[in-house]
Amino acid sequence: MSGHDLAIVGAGPAGIAAALEGAALGLSVLVLDEQDAPGGQVFRAVERAAGDPALAGDYATEGMALVRAFRAARGVEYRPGTTLWHIDTDTLRLSLLREGKAEEAGASRLLLATGAQERPVPIPGWTLPGVMGAGAAQILLKTAGAVPAGPVVIAGQGPLCWLIAVQMLRAGAGPVTLLETTRGSAATAALQAGGLWAGRRLLLKGLALVREARARGLRVVRKVRGLQALGEGRVEHVRWEGNTIPCGTLLLHEGVIPSTHVTRALGLEHRWDAAQLCWRPTLDGWGATSHDGIAVAGDGGGIGGWEAAVATGRLAALDAACRLGRIDTAERDRRAVPHRAALRRALALRPFLDRLYAPAPEVLAPADDSTLVCRCEEITAGQVRAAARLGATGPNQAKAYLRTGMGPCQGRMCGTTVAALIAAERGITVEQAGVLRPRAPFKPLTVGALAGLAKDDAA
Amino acid sequence: MYAQRPEARPATVEVLVDGQVVRVPEGASAAAAVLLAGLPALRSTPVGGAPRLPYCMMGVCFDCLAEIDGVPNRQACMVTVAPGMRIAPQRGARVAGPRA
């Protein structure tokens, strides 16, 4: 088993930045990533797709530069196509799956840079074929150059909705309609959060996107509530408060939340973030978790976007080098200065965005009893409420009542919704309802793969 | 339904989606191939038999579970296409044990 100084899980902006910084400080770095190429979701497939005019912007310029630097780095062992399914928290031994075979790796320190996932948007009909996450459609554009055929409806809110609308229109899709769910009161609350001047660069980028979307013919309907996807066998219409429009592809988006599956499975300390309405691991200013040997960087530690992820990745690598005795704390602190400044700039607009695009209560806990919340086991909001009345005190107890969180996704999709429904029904906070505790394996593996590992150990 | 854009990403890899030959760009996932093939559903759920297509495309939702090159229960969105890859829908729960 190879013993690296630092193992990094995830080759997105945070993982790449940490690898570059760590290697520059003389650490031997191992980077594991589930994808077959570096970039994470934000810069997914950038080496293949940077030339696509639909994706012009940060993706093609800064994303490409980051991935090029990663490819050129010395002292970094990169294992793409590698799935992490277990971490031994005593030894930091990692159990992996690559090309159908289980293998192991070891490191003195571990950095989890597992990024974000789209917040589930449980509306009636969201399991119909033709309904996807907006980010999912963007991944299709990046990895395959494909766009929806026929009328596209993007429903929800957040900067990504506008970016995807523009990219779809540039790529020739359409007509595209944006059903924006932002509430009227949100703008006032957002303005009170401030940060507009410090975050002006991001704000101007956003405004340019809105202008381009309008110029390219995006139809926008505001203050949409009561969304439903309708159709027989696939989505055919989208309905909201008395309006119905035809729809070939419905793309839902209510922002992103940290991917905390692994950090929760490890039993690391987490806290409920009331501003971003999600769980996040408890971290210090260097990304250190409640476990001595494990740190978190990037959106997996709280949503900040790719520029913040680069900064937190670099900070975590500096701390790793310090704890491994390569640099002293004074050197670490000195080198951290520019990254702390970059992090402040990247996060300046975040309070404004968090308030403007805070999901409505019905996104967190669907009002309609018949809405499916657990896609795997097909459990409705009404069933979860009934379980709460029978005594289920949180998502971990609900598993025994309903199997929510016990299907193949292990609660990645329903965990937060189940907790919010139970909290509302029992008159407690989401924090009191608790967070779903997943178990290893983090991703399914075959008995054959597992048995192969045991044989290798014996040899 | 999804449309390809050969001017941006030429379709060069031939795969079989439910027995049908589909050409997709290099780097596309098996889930992307399913959407480009226009399959009405990639799986039916073990509980209610409802049709599903990929939802998240990034390994989170497990709605793209499929049989790929004879191995059931694989996340199609996490598998990159290779020439001749066979991608088949999975109806209900996967069948355990040795396969014919």
Q: Is the Cβ of B92 closer than 8 Å to some Cβ of chain A?
A: no
Decide if B47 touches A, using CB distance below 8 A.
yes
Tell me what pLDDT residue A286 has.
98
The answer to whether the CB atoms of B35 and A409 lie below 8 A apart is no
Q: How many CB atoms lie within 10 A of CB A278?
A: 22
User: What is the rounded distance in angstroms from the CA atom of residue A252 to the CA atom of residue A116?
Assistant: 16
d(CA A216, CA B92): 43
Dihedral over Cα of A393, A398, A404, A408: its sign: positive
Contact A291, A89 (CB under 8 A): yes
What does R_g of chain B's alpha carbons equal in angstroms? Answer: 13
CA distance B50 to chain A (A): 8
Q: Which residues of B touch A233 (CB under 8 A)?
A: 40-41, 51
* C-alpha span between A398 and A378 (Å, rounded): 14
- What local confidence, expressed as pLDDT, does residue A455 receive? 62
Per-residue burial over A285-299, b = 16 or more CB atoms within 10 Å of its CB, e = otherwise: ebbbbebebbbbbbb
Does B1 sit within 8 Å of A144, measured CB to CB? no
**A375, A403, A436: which to substitute to probe chain B, counting the most B Cβ within 10 Å?**
A375
Q: Where are the beta strands (DSSP E) in A181-227?
A: 219-221
User: Using an 8 Å Cβ cutoff, are A169 and A230 in contact?
Assistant: no
Flag if B60 and A48 touch (Cβ within 8 Å). Answer: no
- Between chains, do B8 and A147 touch, taking CB under 8 Å as contact? no
Alpha-carbon distance A128 to nearest alpha carbon in chain B (angstroms): 6
- How far from each other are the two terminal CA atoms of chain B, in whole angstroms? 33
Instruction: Choose from A52, A117, A119, A127 for mutation: most chain B CBs within 10 A.
Output: A127
Q: How many Cβ atoms are within 10 Å of B75's Cβ, its own excluded?
A: 27
Q: Would you state the pLDDT for residue A1?
A: 47
- First vs last C-alpha separation in chain A: 13
Chain B, residues 3-42, CB within 8 A of chain A, namely 3-5, 8-9, 24-29, 32, 35-36, 40-41
Query: B11-17 and B71-75 as β-strands: parallel, antiparallel, unpaired?
Result: unpaired
Q: How many CB atoms lie within 10 A of CB A215?
A: 10
- The residues with which A356 forms a beta bridge, in sequence order, are none
Residue B100: what pLDDT? 44
In B, minimum Cα distance to A52 occurs at B8
| Residue A455 or residue B79, greater confidence | B79
Using 50, 70 and 90 to split pLDDT, how confident is the model at B97? low
**What pLDDT is stored for residue B96 in this prediction?**
65
Query: In angstroms, rounded to a whole number, what is the distance separating the alpha carbons of residues A102 and A40?
Result: 23
The verdict on whether omega for the bond into residue A441 sits within 30 degrees of 0, i.e. cis, is yes
Q: Which residues of chain A are within 8 Å of residue B26 when distances are taken between CB atoms? A: 48
Q: How far apart are CA A187 and CA A282, in angstroms?
A: 29
Question: Which H/E stretch holds residue A253?
Answer: strand A249-254
Residues 6+ apart with CB under 8 A from B6: none
User: Which pLDDT belongs to residue A208?
Assistant: 96
Tell which residue, A86, A15, A424, has the closest CA to residue A266: A86
- pTM of the model as a whole: 0.96
Name which of B9, B52, B61 is nearest A409 (Cβ-Cβ). B61
Residue B11's closest chain A neighbor by CA? Answer: A144
Q: Measured between alpha carbons, how far is A69 from A78 in angstroms, rounded to an integer? A: 13
The pLDDT of residue A424 is 97
Tokens of B8: 């941006």
pLDDT tens per residue, chain A (459 residues)?
Answer: 458 999 999 999 999 999 999 999 999 999 999 999 999 999 999 999 999 999 999 999 999 999 999 999 999 999 999 999 999 999 999 999 998 899 999 999 999 999 999 999 999 999 999 999 999 999 999 999 999 999 999 999 999 999 999 999 999 998 999 999 999 899 999 999 989 999 999 999 999 999 999 999 999 999 999 999 999 999 999 999 989 999 999 999 999 999 999 999 999 999 999 999 999 999 999 999 999 999 999 999 999 999 999 999 999 999 999 999 999 999 999 999 999 999 999 999 999 999 999 999 999 999 999 999 999 999 999 999 999 999 999 999 999 999 999 999 999 999 999 999 999 999 999 999 999 999 999 998 888 888 888 765 544
Residues A20 and A73 sit within 8 Å (Cβ to Cβ): yes
Nearest to B25 among A129, A139, A144 (CB): A144
**Beta carbons of A374 and A404 less than 8 angstroms apart:** yes
CB contact under 8 A, A131 and B27: no
The answer, for B84 touching chain A at a CB cutoff of 8 Å, is no
Inter-chain touch B40–A234, beta carbons under 8 Å: yes
| Cα torsion through A118, A419, A286, A349, rounded to 10 | 50
Distance CA A300, CA A71 (A): 23
Name the H helices within A266-405: 306-323, 329-347, 350-356, 361-364, 381-390, 395-402
* Strand ranges in chain B using DSSP code E only, listed in sequence order: 2-3, 11-17, 20-25, 43-44, 51-52, 65-68, 71-75, 86-88, 90-91
Q: Residue A50: CB partners within 8 Å, gap ≥ 6? A: A59, A60, A63, A64
Cβ-based contacts of A144 with chain B (< 8 Å)? 4, 9, 24-25, 27-29, 32, 36
**Pick from A28, A24, A31: nearest CA to A8:** A31
Name the closest residue on chain B to residue A260, using Cα atoms: B60
ipTM of the complex: 0.95
Of B51, B61, B62, the CB nearest to A233: B51
Look at A135 and B45 and tell me if their CB atoms are within 8 Å.
no
Q: What does the DSSP assignment read for A5-74?
A: EEEEE--SHHHHHHHHHHHHTT--EEEE-SSSSSSTTTTTTHHHHTT-GGGTTTIIIIIHHHHHHHHH-S
Residue B57 contacts A where some CB pair is shorter than 8 Å: yes
User: Chain A interface, mutation test: which of B9, B17, B26, B75, most A Cβ atoms within 10 Å?
Assistant: B9
In angstroms, the CA A144 to CA B24 distance is 7
β-strand B86-88 against A82-88: which pairing, if any?
Answer: unpaired
